[in-house]
A and B are shown apart, each in its own frame.
Chain A
């Protein structure tokens, strides 16, 4: 089934992705365990790592909602800027063509 099982809670072995940074789960960065010799790492079951990450994202979107009704996307604004430039370019082109004629 899909319930909790202790044997499924041990995280996979880490692989290094950058100096000082490892990865055990896709897109989840972790510190190189070698750097944790003074402050020890905890035995963190898989469910807990997943819980923290999921709640982090939920918390962030909560914070947006808390401050405003909507969030405006910069990527969309970039697109709009590009499109309006294209428009300006095409209008410019057509005016110059008109002049030629």
Chain B
């Protein structure tokens, strides 16, 4: 990978734009803005370093940095929380890393029109702590709720765990300000109007600037939806005698039509086996508990209580046994914390080694779940046996659609990888494993990614296949907006856009 060395005069220009304190060139500044929590070839760390890091504070500064980069054809990579699981914020060509964490101000809270306008370096949990006093809530709730930032949520077009009730990031961002790859500052929404939620004017540009992983520009401000702070939360975990019955029950629960239903999550049998190793809620569960469903509801007490009763009844009628308040409430409240626990990694002889977490996040239709799940585990098992550094942590299936939780599911197989043992050979093995998993998704007419993005090795290669004719349009858009391919180059196969003619 070629890297553009940045000359002293350019560094001076950057210093003039953002202030000398906020241009970082040290090794630690660069090493620590290289990776994200996804499996990482540690032995090749130095191949992914940015050349320089800037920490801007305003839209104008971002725009000036991007203009400079465009003039000199230097790659630019935006980085928000650095929690993305598809390597979006990992620089592939060096260049300038634009770290937006200092852009964390709340600019306006509009309680009449129910919006908050802010800079994208703010975290959702922190935002909600600030606005609690107004009785409102910003309900984008990924498992990374305590650590990802609004900018990264937009950059990935993320998935929220309670979207059945409140929608995902793309539904919760009303409009935003974007610095284009050429440095112009524009505003995009459904149509125009920063606080307008539904419009038929022009193209729906907001969608274009959601989930582009920094390949089309940098979001510098966003106007977000505020909902009434929920009066009541109801979470229930049900146990089943096998996956089959839990799977059927999931179908029944999601189709209940209850408006307060925020999510239904199905745990497969491998997930339960995994949880029995080390999870205080599952160690004591009886042997005949093989599969689990978690449901959650939010809303006014008057809605949630009767709806909760209805759900309990449906679960019971379809073979579910309520696991009690302690497990239900405790496990739901720990929904953010129970991923990416390295010491849950086990070798075949059951000894503990620290493993990094791969989170597959395909979107799969309900009817294809059993086949996809089976084929994924078969692939994982083969690689575990052969290489001894992988571990199968089971599958989750989360209701995927906003407001109407049925039909397709964020389908997640979690795989542990002993990063310390990665070398060229084992990394290649991992990428091959990943590709096989992706191919199963496409075979069953799924989508490669429901939330993280298609920018990591093992996914990216399949973007043209999944997008079909749409990929041609993507390339044309990319070329028009980013004539010099400076914005996060190398991602999503978009280099192809510049190879033709």
Contacts and interface: CB of A to CB of B under 8 A. Distances in A.
Contacts of A74: 234-236, 308, 312, 322, 324-325, 328
Interface of B: 125, 128-129, 137, 141, 229-236, 277-278, 280, 283, 298, 301, 304-305, 308-309, 312-313, 322, 324-325, 328-330, 333-334, 336, 343, 346-347, 350-354
A71 B234 contact: yes
A21 B283 CA distance: 8
A72 B343 contact: no
Interface of A: 18, 20-21, 29, 31, 35-39, 59-61, 63-64, 66-75, 77-78, 80-81
10 contacts: A35-B351, A37-B351, A63-B333, A69-B229, A70-B301, A72-B234, A74-B236, A74-B312, A80-B309, A81-B309
Contacts of B125: 66
A70 B231 contact: yes
B285 to A, nearest CB: 11
Nearest to B324: A75
The list of the 3 closest CB pairs from A to B, nearest first, reads A68-B233, A60-B333, A68-B230
A77 B308 contact: yes
Contacts of B128: 66
B231 A60 contact: no
A20 B350 contact: yes
A38 B325 CA distance: 37
Interface of B is mostly: mixed
B234 A67 contact: no
B310 to A, nearest CB: 10
B352 A72 contact: no
A31 B278 contact: yes
A61 B326 CA distance: 11
Given A37-B351, A77-B312, 10 more contacts: A20-B350, A35-B351, A38-B347, A38-B353, A39-B352, A64-B329, A64-B333, A67-B141, A75-B324, A77-B234
Contacts of A31: 278, 352
Contacts of B330: 60
Given A74-B234, A74-B328, A39 B350 contact: no
A11 B353 CA distance: 24
A67 B132 CA distance: 10
Nearest to B345: A39
A71 B230 contact: no
B11 to A, nearest CB: 42
B312 A35 contact: no
A68 B235 CA distance: 12
A100 B333 CA distance: 53
Given A20-B277, A39-B343, A72 B232 contact: yes
B258 to A, nearest CB: 13
Contact of B232 (A18, A35, A68, A80): A68
Contacts of A60: 329-330, 333-334
A61 B62 CA distance: 40
Nearest to A74: B236
Nearest to B336: A63
B231 A68 contact: yes
Nearest to A57: B330
Nearest to A34: B351
B275 to A, nearest CB: 12
Given A36-B352, A75-B324, A78-B312, A70 B329 contact: no
A77 B309 contact: yes
B283 A39 contact: no
A60 B280 CA distance: 14
Contacts of B304: 72
Contacts of B301: 70, 72
Nearest to B230: A68
